[in-house]
Amino acid sequence: MVEVPAAEAAEPTAADWAAAVAAVRGGQAGGTVLLVCHVNPDGDALGSMLGVALGLRRLGITQLQATFPGATAGATGGGYAGPPEVPEPFRWLPGLDLVVPADSAYPAPDLFLCFDAASASRLGALADRLDTAGAAVVLDHHASNTRFGGIHLVDPGAAATSVVAEGLLSRLEVPLDAEIAQCLYVALATDTGSFRFDMTTPAVHEMAARLIATGISPGEISRRIFDTRPFGAVRLYGDVLQRAQLEPDAAGGVGLVWTYATLDDLARHGQKAYVLEALIDSVRCAAEADVSCVIKQVGPAEWAVSMRSKGAVDVSRVAVALGGGGHRLAAGFTGRGTVDDVIGAIRAEL
Ligand code: AMP
Ligand code: MN
Ligand code: MN
């Protein structure tokens, strides 16, 4: 696998699109096709992957699998049979029946497509398919994308990977239907913060219009993915927001607000890690700080760090310096050690 500097990232050329379409057309001729999205998948990762997966199924591709790093066999009972690692708000997405455990994914697929991953490391052990696959197509929108595949549909100007996914489906002449649209809408709504962020361009609303025109229900989708959590999560937020700290002089004077959540916090309230995904949105409200940060424990000395900026600071620069990635206003990385170690490293980079 080849990694070249992110500075070379530019929107896909006509040749890139043609190469991707040709690769999929090759897969239509009876080959195996594997779709993978980034570890700890969010709405954009899952929605883009499943939207394209459904589109490929419509094209008649039958040897078709989707997965993500860490996906295990489905939880039975309660109606949902997909991987337990799919966060509950996304467990109704169409196309989840195509998701297989990561360790039963085609070892050498004829065609490999990956979604919303800025670097090969975000694919975990599944990154080995970059070497074993017949063709590898990278669909992404991170400016920090390291162009680690064979064919790159990477558009740093796209609000979500689903914008790129829709571009591929339209070039494959797959019409949007309500199931594909639900997937792509979840992805678009997730990465634009429900159409609130600056990347919510006219083109984003035009795409949303095309998706909604298939008959999907934006209100119902938003309620499911943004506004539905167990009561225990409400109490958990109380604990974690209570310990938030404001450092007005940090980040060169523009201010930092931050908090952390431990595995013990989750256990005390009987909650799963996914409920903390929206925590950053409560923390970043603090008017006194440009930079906000949530440090979420995932192991004894391992933390998933979310960072946001209101514009004065490029948090992707901080995240990249600490081994992660992301965008100017939203980025993250994996922290090691204690909470103090992690916040200390962030303060130093800021
Ligand atoms: P999050 O805070 O998890 O919503 O992530 C915000 C942005 O940072 C997303 O665009 C992610 O792609 C990126 N990001 C988060 N965690 C990591 C990581 N460990 N490595 C690389 N990029 C990350
Ligand atoms: Mn993502
Ligand atoms: Mn994304």
Atom 7 of ligand 1: nearest residue by CA position: 331
Q: Please work out whether the CB of residue 141 comes within 6 Å of at least one atom of ligand 1.
A: no
Q: Please work out whether the CB of residue 43 comes within 6 Å of at least one atom of ligand 1.
A: no
The total of other beta-carbon atoms located within 10 Å of residue 221's CB is 21
Nearest ligand, CA of residue 141?
3
Residue 210: HSE in the Cβ half-sphere, 13 Å Cα cutoff: 18
pLDDT band at 344 (very low <50, low <70, confident <90, very high): very high
pLDDT mean over 195-218: 96
Cα–ligand 2 centroid distance for 255 (angstroms) = 26
Do the Cβ atoms of 36 and 67 come closer than 8 Å? yes
* pLDDT value of residue 323: 94
Q: How far is CA 319 from CA 158, 249, 287, 330, in A?
A: 20, 20, 22, 9
N-term to C-term CA, the chain: 32
* pLDDT value of residue 78: 73
Lowest mean per-residue pLDDT among 22-31, 225-234, 272-281: 22-31
Mean pLDDT for the chain overall = 95
Which of 306, 316, 317, 320 gets mutated to test ligand 1 (max ligand atoms within 8 A of its CB)? 306
pTM: 0.92
C-alpha angle 164-170-175 in degrees, rounded to nearest 5: 125
* pLDDT value of residue 1: 38
Q: Please work out whether the CB of residue 306 comes within 6 Å of at least one atom of ligand 1.
A: yes
Q: Please work out whether the CB of residue 324 comes within 6 Å of at least one atom of ligand 1.
A: yes
* pLDDT value of residue 6: 46
pLDDT mean over 126-147: 96
Atom 13 of ligand 1: nearest residue by CA position: 326
pLDDT band at 77 (very low <50, low <70, confident <90, very high): confident
Atom 19 of ligand 1: nearest residue by CA position: 333
Q: Please work out whether the CB of residue 124 comes within 6 Å of at least one atom of ligand 1.
A: no
pLDDT mean over 141-170: 96
Closest ligand 1 atom to the C-alpha of 191? Answer: 10
* pLDDT value of residue 79: 81
* pLDDT value of residue 104: 97
Closest ligand 1 atom to the C-alpha of 323? Answer: 20
* pLDDT value of residue 5: 42
Which of 38, 40, 42, 274 gets mutated to test ligand 1 (max ligand atoms within 8 A of its CB)? 42
pLDDT mean over 313-333: 94
Sequence-separated (6 or more) residues with CB below 8 Å from residue 78: none
Query: Is 3's pLDDT higher than 80?
Result: no
What is the per-residue pLDDT across 52-61, written as a single tens digit (0 to 9) for each?
999 999 999 9
* pLDDT value of residue 320: 94
* pLDDT value of residue 282: 96
What is the per-residue pLDDT across 5-41, written as a single tens digit (0 to 9) for each?
444 558 999 999 999 999 999 877 889 999 999 999 9
Query: Is 138's pLDDT higher than 70?
Result: yes
* pLDDT value of residue 74: 86
E strands present in the chain: 33-37, 64-67, 111-115, 135-140, 151-154, 245-247, 256-261, 291-299, 302-309, 325-326, 330-336
* pLDDT value of residue 7: 47
Q: Please work out whether the CB of residue 325 comes within 6 Å of at least one atom of ligand 1.
A: yes
pLDDT mean over 189-213: 96
pLDDT band at 76 (very low <50, low <70, confident <90, very high): confident
Atom 16 of ligand 1: nearest residue by CA position: 332
Residue 104: HSE in the Cβ half-sphere, 13 Å Cα cutoff: 11
Q: Please work out whether the CB of residue 332 comes within 6 Å of at least one atom of ligand 1.
A: yes
pLDDT mean over 184-205: 95
Nearest ligand, CA of residue 118?
1
pLDDT more than 90, % of the chain: 91
Cα–ligand 2 centroid distance for 115 (angstroms) = 8
Atom 15 of ligand 1: nearest residue by CA position: 332
Cα–ligand 3 centroid distance for 122 (angstroms) = 12
* pLDDT value of residue 263: 98
* pLDDT value of residue 107: 98
